[in-house]
Amino acid sequence: MDIIQLLPEHVANQIAAGEVVQRPASVVKELLENAIDAGADTIKLLVKDAGRTLVQVIDNGKGMSVTDARMSFERHATSKIRKTEDLFHLHTKGFRGEALASIAAVSQVELKTRQKEDEIGTKIAIEGSKVLSQEPIATPPGTSIAVKNLFYNIPARRNFLKSDTQEIRHVIDELQRIALSHPEVTFFMYHNDNEVYHLPASNLKKRIVNIFGVKINEKLVPIEEQTDIVKISGFIAKPEFAKKKRGEQFFFVNNRFIRSNYFNHAVRMAFEGLVTGEQHPGFFLFLEVPSHTIDINIHPTKTEIKFDNENDLYAILYATVKHSLGQYNVAPVLDFNRDSVLDLPYQYKDKLPHKEPEIRVDRTYNPFQKEEKNNGFERKTENWEALYNGIQAINIPESETKERELESAMLFEHSDIKTQQLQNKYIVSTIKSGLVFIHQSRAHQRILYEAFLEKMNSGEVHSQQLLFPLQLHFSKSEILIIKELVEELMACGFTFETIKEEYLIVNGLPPQLEETQVAALFEEILESKEENYGTETFNYLEYLARLLAKNAAIKVGQTLHEKAQEELVDNLFNCKEPGISPNGKPCFTTLTLEEIDKRL
Ligand code: ADP
Ligand code: MG
């Protein structure tokens, strides 16, 4: 019996659409690329409900004839290539002729288009690949494509979409990529009728500033290199502005955004010694190569490219970035406490006394010197017996809270704890069983974290009012994200005088947080790529408590006088879970006498 059948066309289309259209952002990408390919110099993107209900792109490009308008929704219908060779000399974004067919298979599309030379335009309504109507219409030259109710006919895929916060981020990512590679084109973006971007036609540097906000201006170092096989241009961000999470990293090859771990690595290596292992340098790099040396065909959504001469490109990229860093005299900076200061918006930075970054080392510390003053180490020998009979060392990450509380209460011999700071990093104290080493920063984070959480949950918010409110600048898209978190931020103690399109004014801070730490905190909130961020189960209060604690906590490298040390120890062991920092790292460890004895 024969059992093989051809799939009905609409099913085939839906399956194929899965490759091209994963989420609203994929539609945005395809429509924007088509508008660019059509030679538009002004492009408007309208989005509703993070693209779930509407993605519309309006351009003033060359438009389509009546026949082309209808043809454009056919699979493999493209005006961009005619013969195989064309594939190797692409200068358009699209070439597969699949996007519109795929989009129309999974949504309700309304197309309006007119060529300049035609008097009347065409309107087509199409739904799940079925043409519902086609009629002449008066419309401005150019094309408008409205994609409504994405995945209306595939509930499974609709349910698969993430929160609005996440989906709109993807949309914004796509717009940013296209807008960066076409600064000569004017872009508008609206989300739920609010303007997210108005990017006037300009040069690359202004475009970067318009997208990422004025504060990025002073970070950019230009890059320019021309060799036989590649031309490199663009900007890198000075190493001191490198971010902890991958942020502003953009590679474009022949003006097409690509991802490349290999090239990323080249840039990283060029920054070696200038950024720490956890930091990611920012860059906007444009590579131009002869189109026959690349194959952009390997990935359906085309963010990966195969190169003929990858190794050469790596070497050139590395050398070019390194050269620029040298040329602009961007010297290494090493200072543990610099983050909050350097991340301040520039108008505040000027007001701060200029201080050379420094490495803080306790020069008087000598691990081999016999301690003679009345301090923790001395007490150790005094109370030898008691120590030796003390409780066993406790193991860190176990979190049997009850037991731990008991243990910590029993941990210290006397109520008057004597402490000693080690390398401005650890607080050392004697305990019955030996020594405890407390990580000062993590311990303080734990203390603050529990305090913040308690305040937030009890609803009794305290806020320190600022005499001079802080003005912080952000890009419009960043402000949107902040707006979504306003309630939670206020629950922590922030108060805002105003939140405008590109800046906000903070006039009240959570207790413990200092003015100089605010900018860094917001940066971190915006950079967050935490798993589940933006999903329903994500606990923003807990997350903010963690960030606040991290930013407000005592840092490694900070000298603490005796009183502060003792308070820290005291407060830590009054915590519910003194053993682990809010980020899951141990706060302290112990060294028992037995262990010491074994070594001696
Ligand atoms: P591709 O871009 O790969 O050619 P698409 O499915 O994205 O495939 O588009 C099909 C065709 O429709 C394009 O080749 C182009 O001729 C036409 N088209 C699509 N969008 C526009 C637009 N905004 N303006 C003019 N023509 C367009
Ligand atoms: Mg296309």
Residue type at 442 in one-letter notation = R
| Ligand 1: residue whose CA is nearest its atom 21 | 34
Find all residues with CB under 8 Å of 204, minimum gap 6, and list them: 180, 183, 234, 235, 284, 286
Terminal-residue alpha carbon distance, the chain: 84
Q: Is the CB of 142 under 6 A from ligand 1?
A: no
203 phi/psi in degrees, rounded to 5: -95, 180
Report the atom number in ligand 1 closest to the C-alpha of 81.
Answer: 4
Taking alpha carbons only, the member of 423, 421, 419, 430 closest to residue 385 is 430
Residue 391 is given by DSSP the state P
Residue written as token pair 């989906």: 167
Residue-level pLDDT at 1: 83
The Cα–Cα gap between 443 and 455 comes to 19
Closest CA to 438 of 274, 575, 336: 575
* Atom 13 of ligand 1, residue of closest alpha carbon: 78
Check if 72 has its Cβ closer than 6 Å to any atom of ligand 1.
yes
Average pLDDT of every residue of the chain: 80
Q: Ligand 1: distance of its center to the CA of 200 in Å?
A: 24
34 lines ligand 1 (CB under 6 A): yes
State whether the beta carbon of 141 lies less than 6 angstroms from ligand 1: no
Taking the CA of 29 as reference, the closest ligand is 2
Task: Give the whole-angstrom CA distance, residue 179 versus residue 204.
Answer: 9
- Residue 261 CA to residue 182 CA, distance in Å, equals 24
- What's the pLDDT score for residue 516? 86
- CA 319 and chain centroid, separation: 27
> Which of 26, 29, 68, 78 should be mutated for ligand 1, with most atoms under 8 A from CB?
78
% of the chain exceeding 70 in pLDDT: 81
Sorting pLDDT into bands at 50, 70 and 90, what band is 54? very high
- Reported as a single tens digit per residue, the pLDDT across 96-128 is 778 999 999 999 999 999 999 999 999 999 999
- Least confident window among 150-159, 173-182, 391-400, 496-505: 391-400
Question: Torsions phi, psi of 13, nearest 5?
Answer: -65, -40
Per residue in 454-488, pLDDT (tens digit) is 887 777 778 888 888 899 998 888 888 888 888 88
Residue nearest to atom 16 of ligand 1 (CA): 79
Of 88, 79, 90, the C-alpha closest to 113 is 79
The answer to whether the beta carbons of residues 6 and 61 sit under 8 Å apart is: no
Cβ partners under 8 Å of residue 9, min gap 6: 129
Q: Which pLDDT band, with edges at 50, 70 and 90, does 245 fall under?
A: low
78 lines ligand 1 (CB under 6 A): yes
Q: Under a CB-based contact definition with an 8 Å cutoff, are residues 263 and 316 in contact?
A: no
pLDDT at 78 over 90: no
261 pLDDT exceeds 90? no
Looking from the CA of residue 92, the nearest atom of ligand 1 is: 2
Q: What is the DSSP letter of 532?
A: T
Q: Is 144 a pocket residue for ligand 1 (Cβ < 6 Å)?
A: no
Evaluate if residue 401 carries a pLDDT over 60. no
Nearest atom of ligand 1 to the alpha carbon of 98? 6
Geometric angle at alpha carbon 585, from 580 and 588, rounded to 5°: 60
* Cα 110 to ligand 1 centroid, rounded to whole Å: 14
Ligand 1: centre distance to CA 48 (Å): 23
* Closest of 507, 474, 503 to residue 490, by C-alpha: 507
Phi/psi region, residue 151 (left: phi>0; alpha: psi -120 to 50; beta: rest), is left
Beta carbon of 111 within 6 Å of any ligand 1 atom = no
Our answer on whether the CB atom of 30 is closer than 6 Å to any ligand 1 atom is yes
Average pLDDT for 284-301: 80
Indicate whether residue 61 lines ligand 1 (CB < 6 A).
Answer: yes
Q: Distance from CA of residue 503 to its chain's centroid? A: 19
C-beta separation of 26 from 301 below 8 A: yes
> Given the CA of residue 61, which atom of ligand 1 is nearest to it?
24
133-165 pLDDT, tens digit each: 999 999 999 999 999 999 999 888 888 898 898
User: Is the alpha carbon torsion for 363, 365, 370, 372 positive or negative?
Assistant: positive
Q: Which tokens belong to 427?
A: 């607080």
In the structure encoding, which two tokens stand for residue 325, read together?
Answer: 């860093």
| 554 touches 562 (CB < 8 A) | no
Question: Which of 271, 249, 266 is CA-nearest to residue 258?
Answer: 249
At residue 301, the pLDDT reads: 63
8 A C-beta contact, residue 401 and residue 446: no
How far from 321 is each of 180, 221, 274, 306, CA to CA, in Å? 19, 10, 12, 22
* 3-class state of residue 212 by DSSP: helix
Note the pLDDT tens digit of each residue in 330-388: 533 322 222 322 222 222 223 333 333 333 333 343 333 333 333 333 333 333 233 22
